[in-house]
Amino acid sequence: MEYIKIRFGGDTGRLGSSFEKTLDSIFRSVNPMFAECERAWNPQIDVFETAQEVFITAEIAGVEKEDLDVEINHRVIRIRGRRIPRPHVDQASFRLAEIQYGNFERTLNLPAPIDPEVVSATYANGLLQLRLAKSEAAQPRRIPISDD
């Protein structure tokens, strides 16, 4: 059985500001020469939760499991990796090129604190699926009201 690397840590590193990402997106769409040297792409992600768990699904078809890295702490998860371009046929011209290649990184604030010791990850059919147990502190409690 192969495993997906999951690292636990208190610091998820430097995050680019949303302003920087917006500017990069604007300039990249105007002229690709403004893009960073190594073009990054953002996989599509779904996040949903129940009272006990948080579920994350990332669509990353074409990414090898060895090229994936998942890092979590109690409130943040970072998913990063790399999709390597496939070899092209000699003397062929592109008519349409929509698939994005290169590095990607998604950092998400989790909707509730999770227990980093109770995490599972699977990768099949191009989907990375993470299942994170909410920490006991995040579980709702009923408080009994006494008569005074």
Q: What is the CATH number of the domain that holds 130?
A: 2.60.40.790
Domain count, the chain: 1
| pLDDT tens by residue, 65-103 | 999 999 998 899 999 999 998 888 888 888 888 889 999
Structural domain of residue 113, as residue ranges?
Answer: 39-84+100-138
User: Cβ neighbours of residue 127 under 8 Å, at least 6 residues apart?
Assistant: 57, 58, 59, 60, 61
- Residue 94 has a pLDDT of 81
pLDDT at residue 25 greater than cutoff 90: no
pLDDT band at 26 (very low <50, low <70, confident <90, very high): low
* 64 domain residue, yes or no: yes
* 44 domain residue, yes or no: yes
pLDDT at residue 24 greater than cutoff 80: no
pLDDT band at 104 (very low <50, low <70, confident <90, very high): very high
One-letter amino acid identity for 11?
A: D
Among the ranges given (47-61, 90-104, 133-147), the one the predictor scored with the smallest mean pLDDT: 133-147
DSSP character string of 106-145 = EEEE-SS-EEEEEEEEEEETTEEEEEEEEPGGGS------
* 13 domain residue, yes or no: no
Verdict on whether the full-model pTM lies above 0.75: no
* 17 domain residue, yes or no: no
Q: 81 or 147: whose pLDDT is higher?
A: 81
pLDDT band at 6 (very low <50, low <70, confident <90, very high): low
